[in-house]
Structure 1
Amino acid sequence: MVGRQDGLLWYKDSGQHTNGEFSMAVVQANSLLEDQSQVESGPLSLLESGPYGTFIGIYDGHGGPETSRYINDHLFHHLKRFTSEQQSMSADVIRKAFQATEEGFFSLVTKQWPMKPQIAAVGSCCLVGVICGGMLYIANVGDSRVVLGRLVKATGEALAVQLSSEHNAGIKSVRQELQSLHPDDSQIVVLKHNVWRVKGLIQVLIV
């Protein structure tokens, strides 16, 4: 796919992949583009006999581009490694890839902290879709949302189908989960200026 820029709009033309055609568009909200996206198609494993499929990742950076770029550079490689170990694609493989990527970024932050302390304030939401063996796997971290557009042939209408739930303190079930995980912390979620925030600071819950 060829990347193009039109003002603050970045987009990639449609490209043919294992499971169909894909195109991407990003509207740049800041002077520095903090977001990343990728489509990988073909072997989802380091083994030649491993499963084939399509990996789609969208990473909504916050506070800088470092985290989203790190995810873009490492998450898919971890996914291929764990798929090779288990010789199949599964929700557990995706979960392990997320965990390995998070641990790797934490290690990077620890190393860069003395010279670049602001890196500890940089983060990213992460949306992933994997199509493999006729299955669509969806994973998310943060308060971005995966939505599937479905065409109704009879009417020509496009329906939006929500496929993931945000991790945001504004959602009651998320607040309840936080409170159950931290029963001794009465300030784990705080209503501040009519907005629920974790520790009174952020809305996003990274789990």
Structure 2
Amino acid sequence: MIVCNNIWHVATMLRFRPYFTGPSSPNGLKMESICENTVVSDEKYNNFIPTLRSGEWSDIGHRSYMEDTHICIPDLARTFNNKFLGQETVSFYGVFDGHGGKGASKFVRDNLPRIIVDDVNFPMELEKAVTRSFVETDAAFARSCALESALSSGTTALTAMIFGRSLLVANAGDCRAVLSRHGLAFEMSKDHRPCYDKERLRIESLGGFIEDGYLNGQLAVTRAIGNWHIQGLKEMDDQAGPLSAEPELKLVTLTKEDEFLIIGSDGIWDVFRNQNAVDFVRRRLQEHNDVKRCCKEMVEEAMKRGALDNLTVVIVCFQAEPPPPVVVQRGRVRRSISAEGLLNLKFHLEG
């Protein structure tokens, strides 16, 4: 049993914060997950070390132009020659779904990772660094658009960062990240669309409105980077507009039951439900355990199902072996809850 001071409560979806100590640290510890006022007793939180494997695939789909971009960086510090090179690896994955052109999605792909690494809080306080970097990237893109109006466009942005046993997902828009935990699908992000009540309330508090399912009658998402060319969506007279570039974050500690993370543009989720996507990926990984091939097969399946949008998927596996079959023991007493329901209940009870 491990008792932690200042740790997040596991059962309330935790807000784990990483810390680093370098070679000169007195205790020589690497990044860990710290919690508040709780006791962690399950070995699955203490002994699991993720073995990362990733794959990606994208296709123009049935559109006449491609606006999606994506990125996979195994080691942020090494890629950008950061001063924290040699300490705990921070891996970075992102999917960016552009609209009104590809200028914004390409700009975010090429600049957001570097801005995160250069942030003063990287890597000690990643949540602060990521949130601020989304907003700073948005401002940097506005400056670029002022110099080159042809860049004017917008993009949703969803990133996943893995450091030690921690997974941090940041989302602004309607791309989606879904975690497979022992074969069950768990959303790591919420789609920022006008129908989302929390977003509608935020928009109305800032003077915006929803019309025919669109933000200010113009945009199908409520958070995005860019779109500075659309009047009334971003900052006006030093006041925040209804279209926000600030991401929503979700942070969890990975356990041995966590199998993989699916990150997809909205074209994927137009034809896949969360659990259906997890089931599809598990079957393919059990067949051949090739992550990139699995991504390609998922995009091809989406097109067979009639997806009309650009299609991009990134899959990050946390284990070297393929996912095991899910076995649920039958009880002696008849029950009305399904096997999937029992696993879901077990997940929430155990944190």
Alignment of 1:141-152 (within 5 A): 141-150=172-181, 152=182
Residues 58 and 203 of structure 1, relative CA distance in 2, 3 Å threshold: same
- CA deviation vs aligned residue, 1:56-95 (integer Å, no higher than 9, x gap): 011111122111111111011011111x655524210111
Q: Does 1:174 align with 2:191?
A: no
Task: Give 1:41 shift.
Answer: 1.4
- Tell me the SS of whatever aligns to 1:179: helix
Does the 8 A contact of 2:192 with 2:199 survive in 1?
yes
In structure 2, distance between residues paired with 1:68 and 1:89:
26
Query: Which structure 1 residue ranges, 5 or more long, are not aligned?
Result: 1-17, 153-157, 183-187
- CA deviation vs aligned residue, 1:125-162 (integer Å, no higher than 9, x gap): 10100001321111011122211123x3xxxxx32211
> Among residues 40, 57, 60, which one is paired with 1:28 in the alignment?
60
- Tell me the SS of whatever aligns to 1:88: coil
Q: Does 1:197 align with 2:214?
A: yes
Task: Give 1:49 shift.
Answer: 5.3
Amino acid at match of 2:64: S
Q: Does 1:71 align with 2:108?
A: yes
Alignment of 1:28-67 (within 5 A): 28-29=60-61, 30-44=63-77, 46-47=82-83, 48=85, 50-67=87-104
- Tell me the SS of whatever aligns to 1:146: strand
Q: Larger deviation: 86-95 or 139-148?
A: 86-95
In structure 2, distance between residues paired with 1:174 and 1:111:
32
> Among residues 128, 137, 148, which one is paired with 1:112 in the alignment?
148
In structure 1, distance between residues paired with 2:172 and 2:123:
25
Amino acid at match of 1:123: G
Task: Give the number of equivalent residue pairs.
Answer: 170
Amino acid at match of 1:20: L
- CA deviation vs aligned residue, 1:163-183 (integer Å, no higher than 9, x gap): 11122111122111111222x
Moved over 4 A (4+): 84-87
Does the 8 A contact of 2:94 with 2:159 survive in 1?
yes
Amino acid at match of 1:149: S
Taking structure 1 as the reference length, the TM-score comes to 0.74
Amino acid at match of 1:134: R
Alignment match, 2:130: 94
In structure 2, distance between residues paired with 1:57 and 1:135:
16
> Among residues 146, 158, 170, which one is paired with 1:139 in the alignment?
170
Residues 105 and 63 of structure 1, relative CA distance in 2, 3 Å threshold: same
Residues 89 and 25 of structure 1, relative CA distance in 2, 3 Å threshold: farther
Task: Give 1:43 shift.
Answer: 4.4
Does the 8 A contact of 1:51 with 1:89 survive in 2?
no
Does the 8 A contact of 2:72 with 2:93 survive in 1?
yes
Relative to its length, the structure with more strand (as a share) is 1
Amino acid at match of 1:144: C
RMSD: 2.0
Aligned-residue identity in percent? 22
- CA deviation vs aligned residue, 1:104-143 (integer Å, no higher than 9, x gap): 1111111112xx3xx33x2111010000132111101112
Bigger Rg, which one: 2
Amino acid at match of 1:165: K
Does the 8 A contact of 1:41 with 1:55 survive in 2?
yes
- Tell me the SS of whatever aligns to 1:173: helix
Residues 31 and 91 of structure 1, relative CA distance in 2, 3 Å threshold: same
In structure 2, distance between residues paired with 1:123 and 1:205:
12
In structure 1, distance between residues paired with 2:184 and 2:122:
36
